[in-house]
Amino acid sequence: MKVKHGKLVIIGAGKVGSAILNSILRMNVVNDIVVINRNRDKALGEVLDASHTTAFAYSANASIRVGDYEDCADAQIIVMTAGPSIKPGNSRDRMVLLEQNIAIMSDVMSKIVKYTTEAIIINVSNPLDILVYVAQKKFNYPKDKILGTGTLLDTARFNKILGDICGVDAKNVTGFVLGEHGATSFIPWNTVNIVGISFHNFEKQFKLTEKINKNKILEEMKTVGLDIVELKGYTSSGVALSACRLVAAIMRNEKCIVPVSVVLDGQYGITDVALSLPCVISENGIDKILEIPLDEQGTSDFQHCVSHLKEVLENCCYSPSQTTVTLPRKTTVCRKKTSTTVKMTMVFVF
């Protein structure tokens, strides 16, 4: 079936799914929204509530309805939010959701692929990178059409933290958080700048009275989302807007560059894992996965992230074969390359 431009399917009508529904209406980029939820009454309530907002200015006059997986057949984008989220008390580790959400993702994907392999799938559920990998590998979904919000929200949090320190709008901060949406995410500090001012010149240029503590910023970026869970019981606004940012980029064919979780296909010598790297996003999904220059610390952090995610996959689920990973070291200073080899054998059982 031909893809219907402007059609969005949201799977899951919980706190994140409903936040995405309400946020995307304000962006005026979709004209047909279908909500799928196990509890249809809950979905109907969210749909009715959101539909009334279309009468206000700046809200899209979109068709909003409750549907089923058949509605995925001509969808341009499917956003996956189904499954439990981390709760107060166990919010320090997204991996506690692993077993249950792998089962839910597998069930949802088995229903989606009955009707389409053309829709672009955006995963929001955790543990995000593992679920992106499982969904793509188990169902052989096109790699350029399945992604996760990944470190897009982590990047927004980092930019906000650093912008506040320097006294500038966070939107003027250029810097990505890469890797896992979780404990092994990292910041390639050699690429961080504000309007071309490199990170090591921030104290002087912005007249800061204290030296910027990179470790403190990294720790705050990693834990602030978990702190939100402890304070209000869940996160919704930030992750919803991250998903909506991707929906808008796809609908508008923006070809913008944002960090999202994708299954790697040889970038930095890595395969058989999903994590966040800067990607060019267009109406086709992932146009390009970019390899930005990493200094020695960034390369080490990246390798640690890859090893961690592959270990999780080995312990819980999937690898098609024995894999040898060769990670090139890249540095903008000496421009020399060395390599580190990591050998892993992984067994997948669904």
Are 36 and 69 contacting, i.e. CB atoms less than 8 angstroms apart?
yes
125 is in an annotated binding site: yes
12 is in an annotated binding site: yes
Is the preceding peptide bond at 127 cis, omega within 30 degrees of 0?
A: yes
| 288: Cβ contacts below 8 Å, ≥ 6 apart | 279, 280
47 is in an annotated binding site: no
30 is in an annotated binding site: no
Return the residue matching tokens 């996956």: 80
Q: Catalytic: 304?
A: no
6 is in an annotated binding site: no
159 is in an annotated binding site: no
The CA-atom distances, in angstroms, between 181 and each of 3, 15, 209 are 30, 19, 32
101 is in an annotated binding site: yes
263 is in an annotated binding site: no
Strands (E), the chain: 7-11, 32-36, 63-66, 77-80, 120-123, 146-148, 173-174, 193-194, 197-198, 256-265, 271-282, 285-289, 323-328, 339-344
The sign of the torsion formed by the CA atoms of 103, 105, 108, 114 equals negative
Helices of type H across 180-295: 202-205, 214-232, 237-251
Are 270 and 308 contacting, i.e. CB atoms less than 8 angstroms apart?
no
Are 279 and 267 contacting, i.e. CB atoms less than 8 angstroms apart?
no
* 5, 181, 200, 304: the active-site residue: 181
Say whether 268 sits in a helix, a strand or coil.
helix
13 is in an annotated binding site: yes
- The Cβ of residue 232 has, within 10 Å, a number of other Cβ atoms equal to 12
Return the residue matching tokens 């679920």: 131
124 is in an annotated binding site: yes
Kindly report the backbone phi and psi dihedral angles of residue 260, in degrees, each rounded to the nearest multiple of 5, phi listed first.
Answer: -135, 160
Cβ burial 310-333 (10 Å sphere, 16+ → b, else e) = bebbbebbbbeeebebebebbbee
| 48: Cβ contacts below 8 Å, ≥ 6 apart | none
Binding residues for NAD(+), by number, are 12-17, 101, 124-126
Residues belonging to the binding site are 12-17, 101, 124-126
Catalytic residues: 181
